[in-house]
Amino acid sequence: MKKIIDLLNAEVKDAFEKAGYDKEYGSVTISNRPDLCQYQCNGALAAAKKFKKAPIMIANDVVALLEKSRTFGEITAIMPGFINIKVSDAFLASYVNEMNQDERFGCEKTENPKKVIIDYGGANVAKPLHVGHLRSAIIGESIKRIGKFMGNDVIGDVHLGDWGLQMGLIITEFRKRNPDLVYFDDAYTGKYPEEPPFTISELEEIYPFANAYSKEHPEYKEEAMKATNLLQNGHRGYMALWNHILNVSITDLKKNYDNLNVSFELWKKESDAQPYIPDMVEYLKENGYAHISEGALVVDVKEETDTKEVPPCMILKSDGSSLYNTTDLATMVERRKLFNPDAIIYVVDKRQELYFTQVFRCAKKTKILEEDTQLTFLGFGTMNGKDGKPFKTRDGGVMRLENLIKEINEAVYEKVMSNREISEEEARNIAKAVGLAAIKYGDLSNQASKDYVFDLDRFTSFEGNTGPYILYTIVRIKSILGKYQNEIGQLPQGAKMKTAFNDSERDLMLELVKFNEVMYNAYQENAPHKICQYVYEISNAFSKFYHETKIISEENKEQQDSWITLISLTAGILNQCMDLLGLEAPDRM
Ligand code: ARG
């Protein structure tokens, strides 16, 4: 379906042309004075200069041509030359009816679907998932769902960090604690045990300990670096241990991501890119892209127009070892070979922006990727506590994701239980769905690049621009539909919505019709917050309509069917939008 704003634009532009002015002056926008009109066109003011005519005369000419159109209910020229527009109820109702007949609510898929890889999640193996990884998971998942909804072939890749010093640290500490295990016996040539020698909780305790210890003890850090190096060069025992670390850690990560309703098509790791490094380095050298600087192998990536210094992209350190950069570039080589994507989107902390500028430039300059492969860095801000500093636990430590979720679910559970009689089990399930909405919506309703304050009370509130409020709106609609089915009968099939009966009904329709435009914008700009804004406005409009309208006791059957159809459509659209945010409404709240 054409966007409603495009339909209006086309008609008003035509009228400008017919009246002897340029088409382009007829551009229509949503009104910034909703108390006066729904849409507006200010083109007459701009045209006045060119045509040396009072703006109001131009506006009058155009309005005269449009007054009879069935699209407009009220179109008026206002001093000094505004055109105020209200669409006709018949036009609005027929647009909404058409949306209702389409399972995509009138939103067509993109005309040029792409193959897109989204690099998000980015958890580090053997380190507990913390709130820093939360944003990447939540935003990436939503961007992926929006991309798929618009018809693209989208692959989500968790791109686990499994290749850094953290591995050497864990191995070193583990060796110190269990020196007699076969993994550390260089003379051992047999098979290594299949059972991991640790549990996830032990693993998660080891890393922070070893990390802190290494900061105080340089010789320990030295040892960990050596262990990392041995591992990266294929030390048998360390490799076996590393595999255990991966398995134990990934099982746990999957559970955590499941709880967040986040899933990945690909579970690739930094280590998977390592085999591509030697050839890549050779290629960069042979083609003269890389040169030695202070012993290191680098590619210059600065550009004349830079206002800030962009340092060279380092490929190999002077001791020949590879870096985070090297892995990201090699991952591009791998992705090109395996998937040949049209675009790659990285959903990563915005503090890595300069780093990604270097890597993107390097990839393009050295033709590791094709010229037209679209690279996007979607940098997100920090989740802060109420004190404005990065979110911490009450005792100042890094908050583990699991605990954060528990805390939120507990708060919602109390709320759900306090209202009425409900089984423990149902309350727990509701708390899970609503708690997740509190976290995800609290995050997604902000523009991704901005920092935001994590406010438990606000996020879990059933009122205001929150996830629970939107879910509550859906639940209310479900409950009216349930009541209708119990007291009146089957839901009307194929009923048509009549023209709006009152202002609040019309306002609800005017919100709903923005669906395709909102989807298109959210997709183009990688902006889930636009969907949040949309569902919030729909929920407010619904709430007003609901308070002013007695649906179940309405005696005029045709009117009642029309309303039931309208609220079913509202629920359908809200559900679709929530799904794109990675959320789902429970049956009751
Ligand atoms: N593991 C990294 C971190 O915790 C994030 C990975 C981002 N993705 C990438 N391709 N570099 O900071």
- Nearest atom in ligand 1 to 352's CA: 12
Q: Is 140 buried (19+), middle (13-18) or exposed (0-12) by CB count in 10 A? A: buried
Residue 122 beta carbon below 6 angstroms from any ligand 1 atom = yes
Q: Ligand 1 center to residue 332 CA distance, Å?
A: 14
Asked if 313 and 358 touch (Cβ cutoff 8 Å), the reply is yes
Categorize the per-residue pLDDT at 396 as very low, low, confident or very high, splitting at 50, 70 and 90: low
- Nearest atom in ligand 1 to 331's CA: 10
pLDDT of amino acid 419: 65
C-alpha span between 291 and 301 (Å, rounded): 12
Report the residue among 133, 166, 348, 353 best suited for mutation to probe ligand 1: largest number of ligand atoms under 8 A from its CB: 348
DSSP 192: P
Residue 356 beta carbon below 6 angstroms from any ligand 1 atom = no
Neighbours of 50 (CB within 10 A): 11
Domain spanning 4-87, CATH architecture: 2-Layer Sandwich (3.30)
User: Has residue 3 got a pLDDT over 90?
Assistant: yes
Enclosing H/E stretch for 426: helix 424-444
Q: Ligand 1 center to residue 169 CA distance, Å?
A: 19
pLDDT digit string, tens, across residues 231-242: 988 999 999 999
Report the residue among 135, 159, 329, 335 best suited for mutation to probe ligand 1: largest number of ligand atoms under 8 A from its CB: 159
Residue 328 beta carbon below 6 angstroms from any ligand 1 atom = yes
What residue spans define the domains of the chain? 4-87, 165-259, 268-380
Atom 11 of ligand 1: nearest residue by CA position: 328
Arithmetic mean of pLDDT over the chain? 94
Q: Ligand 1 center to residue 206 CA distance, Å?
A: 21
Q: Which residues contact 35 (CB under 8 A, 6 or more apart)?
A: none
pLDDT of amino acid 90: 94
Question: What is the maximum span of the chain, computed from C-alpha positions, in angstroms?
Answer: 96
Atom 7 of ligand 1: nearest residue by CA position: 122
Q: Ligand 1 center to residue 322 CA distance, Å?
A: 16
C-alpha span between 488 and 553 (Å, rounded): 10
Give the tokens for residue 358: 């270097």
Residue 159 beta carbon below 6 angstroms from any ligand 1 atom = yes
Dihedral angle, C-alpha 414, 419, 424, 429, nearest 10 °: -70
Q: Ligand 1 center to residue 122 CA distance, Å?
A: 5
CATH 3.40.50.620 for domain 268-380:
yes
Asked if 173 and 209 touch (Cβ cutoff 8 Å), the reply is yes
pLDDT digit string, tens, across residues 514-558: 999 999 999 999 999 999 999 999 999 999 999 999 999 999 999
Mean pLDDT of the region 65-72: 94
Mean pLDDT of the region 65-80: 95
